[in-house]
Amino acid sequence: MLTVAYDPNNIFAKILRGEAPCFQVYEDEMTFAFMDVMPQAEGHTLVIPKYPAEDLLDLDPEYAAAMAKTVKKIAAAVKKAFDAPGILVAQLNGAPAGQTVFHIHTHIIPRSQGIDLKLHARQMADFDELKKHAERIKAAMN
């Protein structure tokens, strides 16, 4: 079977190495969280494990557990920071599932009834806004 190797130059790997900028929200030994630059709603946050895997199927189970733990923590903070009635948690595996960045990540997106999600990975947000949103989420964790 032909397998495609993890590309260490994908954008999230660069963010983890500090080679590309991001609006960081949280970091621990095994995971990292930051604002999605093309958010589908205000407060759209991504959680990634510090492990070179394209998707959930390639991810070490210990890191999968660490990612789930961080997702729960960040989802609570995003809900509080954006006063969101609902929180969408999503994780896409493989291009046919809609994955566009090939370092595994989980989306955390605030949801309110009657407000549609913006299109996936389409429109760049204002960086000053993203910075403020990251600060709001960090404050909600304390």
Rule CB under 6 A: which residues touch ligand AMP?
Answer: 11, 22, 36-38, 46, 92, 98-101, 120-121
| Nearest residue to ligand AMP, scored by beta-carbon proximity | 38
CB 29, min distance to ligand AMP, A: 21
44 is catalytic: no
Nearer to ligand AMP among residue 18 and residue 142 (C-beta) = 18
Single out the catalytic residue among 105, 107, 120, 133.
105
CB 119, min distance to ligand AMP, A: 10
Q: Count of residues for the chain? A: 142
Nearer to ligand AMP among residue 30 and residue 99 (C-beta) = 99
CB 105, min distance to ligand AMP, A: 6
Q: What residues are annotated to the active site? A: 105
